[in-house]
Structure 1
Amino acid sequence: MKKFDIRNIRVRKVSVDDLDDRMLLINLYATQGLTFIIGLIWVLFQRQNLVALFNIPKELTFLWWGVGLAAAVILVDLLIARFVPEEAGDDGGVNDRIFRNRPVWHIALISFIVAICEELLFRGAIQHAIGPYWTSIVFATIHVRYLKHWIPTGLVFSISYGLGWIYMQTGSLWSAIIAHFVIDLVMGLIIRFRRES
């Protein structure tokens, strides 16, 4: 039996073009799983009640906050896409690779998983510790593929702050989850069905 030698591990920079579709999905789901585990552990260390954190409120105002923020974000994003050159919002082709050839059900599944995992970590755990402003800086930094351009970086920061704000207004993590889900779903569907010019 061959011994495992840590010195044989090599790390190299890989672009999205170097990944096949299977590896891209494995990477996506693995990072979301890691995000969920870190968020779960952080929430438990903060001694928050996990059941209460995911409790769905009886009143539907959280739903309207989530859908309202998502609609505003999508409108702003579409306006930016219309009037700003495409290079200014380039993410290196990651979103296009993730959503371009996916069936609608898979886009919805990806959007739901990302919304749950990221909102648990960022709104449920990190915002509880350091507030919405610093959480939004961390959120924008984590989305490293946008950092080359100031417009998508600013948009990601603003979306994160908006998610944190509606979470504070409603007291329900579900308002942020719904907003995050709708934003990712609609933008994924736009990428999926966009006609090439």
Structure 2
Amino acid sequence: MKRQKEMIATLTDKELVLQVYFTQAIMIVLAFIFGFFLFGSWSEVGALFKFDLQRIVLVGGVVAVVVVLLDLLLDRYLPESWLDDGGINERVFRGLTLPRLLALCLVVSIVEELLFRAVLQTAFGLVIASTIFAVIHFRYLDKPVLFLNVWLVSFGLGIIFLWTGNILITIFAHFLIDFILGLCIRYQYQKKEKVSYDSE
């Protein structure tokens, strides 16, 4: 864990973002490999995509707003040390333009929902998929609150997937969660930088 933190510290913000894209590339390859062996046909995968725009926006939007509000409440009332991820999220999001932030969140939400919900949850169940999802965020393993938070968000998205059978709803919810929280991180960083600049 310490070695990983030291390695991350040597990366620039741009390299960290590229690292995120690299891990997403690995995940999408894994999703296709596992999907090939676990599903009887690609039509079974296709059946998980239901373009019901009203339901996607309504259900996905409500889920995202609830998750973001709970996250902001945790941020407000819990000790900062409990939620400290080493500044990685800030470093990933702070320098992104809005189009790049949108693109990153879109890629992450599509890839992770395909792998963890469409493939792993369908094959191995909700608890296993949520646990694997939480474990891959290994920088949270020594942060119980962050780890539990990620697990619960994954579990919640998994419940929505079980209820609706529509991967597009969880993709949209996941995207909105990441995008809104990314905007918050970006805004807080810019505000902090402005205060620092004005005080000079």
Task: Give me the TM-score of the superposition, normalised by structure 2.
Answer: 0.87
Alignment match, 1:183: 177
Letter in 2 for 1:155: N
Q: 2:131 aligns with which of 134, 137, 142?
A: 137
Q: d(CA) in 1 for partners of 2:138 and 2:47? A: 28
Q: 1:142 to 1:53 in 2, by over 3 A?
A: farther
Alignment match, 1:64: 58
Q: 1:53 to 1:118 in 2, by over 3 A?
A: farther
Question: Greater helix share, 1 or 2?
Answer: 2
Is 1:95 matched with 2:112? no
Q: 1:126 aligns with which of 99, 103, 120?
A: 120
Q: Secondary structure at the match of 2:125?
A: helix
Alignment match, 2:33: 41
Report if the CA contact (8 A) 1:55-1:172 is conserved. yes
Is 1:74 matched with 2:68? yes
Which structure 1 residue ranges, 5 or more long, are not aligned? 1-11
Letter in 2 for 1:15: M
Q: 1:154 aligns with which of 148, 169, 172?
A: 148
1:62 shift after superposition:
3.1
Q: d(CA) in 1 for partners of 2:74 and 2:156? A: 18
Deviations 1:30-74 (A, max 9, x none): 110111110112112122426615633336223322111111100
Q: 1:18 to 1:59 in 2, by over 3 A?
A: closer
1:94 shift after superposition:
1.1
Alignment match, 1:3: none
Task: Give me the TM-score of the superposition, normalised by structure 1.
Answer: 0.88
Alignment match, 2:158: 164
**Aligned residues: CA RMSD:** 1.7
Number of equivalences:
186
Q: Residues 14-33 of structure 1 correspond to what in structure 2 (within 5 A)?
A: 14-33=6-25
1:27 shift after superposition:
1.2
Letter in 2 for 1:67: G
Letter in 1 for 2:24: Q
Q: d(CA) in 2 for partners of 1:115 and 1:160? A: 12
Identity %: 35
